[in-house]
């Protein structure tokens, strides 16, 4: 993947003086430590939270004088099925229920073996390699033998009691044990076989200057959403964008059901990948069941990236949502919207997410499991009142009642709607939460903190 450079000075200009000085000193230290070495990042995909992190962090590293690079795995459908299964089990979800036995292991090793052949050509002894998520872990032994310093950064995990993840850990342990360090998003994600000394906890971050998070004036928000047919339209309750009560397919190929959120309506938003664990359909059902508790100007918008042709799991989740949408009472359906965002232009997609989050009256993240939950960080950064389930890393971002509201049981539909209704009814409270949310992200979850933790990690590895 091509990595451009983004000016560290611009990031520093967003920070207070002390943090800015620390960032500049950190860049100098990184340059010194990594002179003559390359930092490789390997991921399974370009999108999702990991893609978002690499796309925002690596350009700063490059501007700081570090030769940071990004490789994306090459694999067949079966490999990515196994990777998705591992990912699901790491979230204590049975996923597709398939095996993770010797046959799957052999296939996983075969595909990663082929990738290793390619990578080995470029990676030099003494380089640093960051392997992201379960799909890439199997590269650790080969790269270690090559003389690279290998870090496995796992972005997924669960607080579920020991034993639930055994199936995934049994699969990954031989490879993970060969990494020089393991980086996790939460301390509770550490498996029993790893000593605490081998593990570092580093939470993800958002880049305040990226298209996803940069400031947008209200007029720009309105223009982006109107042009994309997402909000500000004239569609009346009970109709879809083109007047029909079935999903419409606009010219950009991104599907939409329920048309545009009308001008003047307040939007309750969830932006996520079409992944079962994000529980978009649960939120749609919660909205329908709690419909009477919500004011009449409130609309629900579920938005996710357009589904790639080979992504049958995402297509299944989206179809499930659309089926529920079509079965809703007309009155409810008229105030519920399901949108796939165009992805052909990545920056435009990010700007749309940015605009949607800024436009929302309340942002919801009703995940059943979550490694960290960057969509939550993004909404908090924009000063939005957020309602989220108390799962995984969301708990590290939201203190209930202080900078957002947490729903303890992720399956509690009524609990979600009660919180949403409260924020809509108490704008002063919602605003207070939003302000605290923005401050919390500024203090804990911006790129500078994340970059400096990487410098410390590299320092102890070299």
Q: Residues in the site for ligand UDP, rule: CB under 6 A?
A: 48-49, 52, 212, 271, 273, 304-305, 341, 349-350, 353, 372-375, 378
117/224 Cα distance (integer angstroms): 44
Work out how close the CB of 35 gets to ligand UDP at its nearest, in angstroms, rounded to a whole number. 32
Work out how close the CB of 422 gets to ligand UDP at its nearest, in angstroms, rounded to a whole number. 24
- Which parts of 54-160 are beta strand (E)? 67-72, 128-132, 149-154
Residue 328 or residue 353: which is nearer to ligand UDP going by CB? 353
Residue 33 or residue 45: which is nearer to ligand UDP going by CB? 45
Residue 300 or residue 421: which is nearer to ligand UDP going by CB? 300
Residue 370's nearest CA partner among 343, 353, 389 is 389
Residue nearest to ligand UDP (CB): 49
Residue 85 or residue 212: which is nearer to ligand UDP going by CB? 212
Work out how close the CB of 238 gets to ligand UDP at its nearest, in angstroms, rounded to a whole number. 27
Work out how close the CB of 390 gets to ligand UDP at its nearest, in angstroms, rounded to a whole number. 16
Q: Locate tokens 């959120």: which residue? A: 261
Tokens of 299: 């609309």
Residue 83 or residue 305: which is nearer to ligand UDP going by CB? 305
Work out how close the CB of 95 gets to ligand UDP at its nearest, in angstroms, rounded to a whole number. 14
Work out how close the CB of 127 gets to ligand UDP at its nearest, in angstroms, rounded to a whole number. 26
Tokens of 359: 């436009």
Residue 277's nearest CA partner among 429, 87, 408 is 87
Work out how close the CB of 305 gets to ligand UDP at its nearest, in angstroms, rounded to a whole number. 3
Asked whether the beta carbons of 278 and 392 are under 8 A apart, the reply is no
Work out how close the CB of 296 gets to ligand UDP at its nearest, in angstroms, rounded to a whole number. 28
Residue 148 or residue 303: which is nearer to ligand UDP going by CB? 303
Residue 29 or residue 346: which is nearer to ligand UDP going by CB? 346
Asked whether the beta carbons of 304 and 272 are under 8 A apart, the reply is yes
Tell me the pairing of strands 128-132 and 149-154: parallel
Which one-letter DSSP state was computed for residue 137? G
Residue 83 or residue 424: which is nearer to ligand UDP going by CB? 83
Work out how close the CB of 331 gets to ligand UDP at its nearest, in angstroms, rounded to a whole number. 28
- What per-residue string of b and e applies to 259-291 under the rule 16 or more CB within 10 Å gives b? bbbbeebbbbbbbbbbbbbbbbbbbbebbbebb
Q: How many CB atoms lie within 10 A of CB 122?
A: 11
Torsion 205-209-212-216 (CA) sign: positive
Residue 334 or residue 385: which is nearer to ligand UDP going by CB? 385
Whole-number Cα distances in Å, 256 to 50, 69, 301, 321, 323 = 26, 36, 10, 11, 13
Asked whether the beta carbons of 181 and 457 are under 8 A apart, the reply is yes
């Amino acid at each position: 993947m091509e990595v451009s450079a983004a000016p560290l000075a611009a990031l520093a200009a967003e920070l207070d003086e002390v943090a800015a000085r620390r960032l500049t000193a950190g860049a100098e230290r990184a340059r010194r430590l990594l002179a003559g070495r390359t930092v490789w990042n390997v991921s399974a995909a370009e999108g999702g939270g990991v893609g978002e992190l690499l796309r925002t962090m690596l350009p700063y590293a490059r501007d700081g004088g570090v030769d940071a690079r990004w490789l994306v795995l090459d694999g067949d459908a079966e490999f990515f099925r196994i990777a998705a299964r591992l990912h699901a089990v790491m979230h204590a979800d049975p996923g597709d229920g398939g095996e993770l036995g010797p046959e799957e292991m052999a296939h996983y090793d075969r595909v990663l073996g082929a990738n290793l052949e390619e990578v080995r050509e470029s990676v030099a002894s003494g380089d640093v390699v960051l392997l992201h998520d379960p799909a890439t872990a199997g590269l650790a032994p080969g790269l270690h033998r090559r003389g690279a310093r290998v870090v496995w950064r796992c972005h997924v995990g669960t607080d579920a009691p020991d034993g639930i993840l055994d199936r995934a850990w049994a699969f990954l342990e031989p490879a993970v044990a060969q990494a020089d360090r393991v980086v996790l998003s939460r301390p509770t994600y550490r498996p029993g076989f790893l000593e605490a000394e081998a593990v570092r906890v580093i939470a993800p971050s958002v880049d305040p200057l990226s298209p996803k998070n940069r400031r947008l004036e209200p007029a720009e928000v309105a223009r982006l959403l109107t042009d994309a047919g997402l909000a500000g339209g004239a569609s009346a309750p009970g109709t879809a964008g083109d007047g029909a009560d079935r999903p419409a397919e606009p010219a950009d190929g991104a599907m939409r059901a329920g048309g545009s959120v009308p001008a003047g309506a307040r939007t309750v938003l969830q932006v996520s990948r079409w992944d079962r664990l994000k529980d978009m359909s649960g939120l749609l059902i919660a909205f329908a069941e709690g419909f009477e508790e919500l004011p009449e100007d409130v609309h629900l918008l579920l938005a996710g990236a357009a589904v790639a042709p080979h992504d049958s799991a995402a297509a299944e989740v989206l179809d499930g949502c659309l089926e529920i949408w079509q079965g809703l009472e007309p009155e409810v359906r008229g105030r519920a919207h399901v949108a796939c965002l165009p992805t052909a232009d990545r920056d435009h997609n990010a700007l749309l997410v940015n605009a949607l989050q800024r436009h929302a009256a309340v942002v919801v993240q009703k995940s059943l499991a979550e490694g960290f939950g960057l969509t939550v960080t993004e909404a908090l950064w924009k000063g939005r009142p957020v309602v989220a389930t108390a799962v995984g890393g969301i708990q590290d971002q939201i203190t209930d009642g202080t900078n957002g509201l947490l729903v303890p049981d992720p399956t509690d539909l009524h609990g979600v709607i009660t919180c949403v209704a409260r924020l809509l009814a108490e704008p002063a409270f919602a605003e207070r939460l939003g302000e605290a949310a923005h401050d919390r992200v500024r203090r804990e979850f911006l790129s500078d903190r994340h970059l400096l933790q990487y410098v410390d990690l590299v320092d102890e590895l070299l």
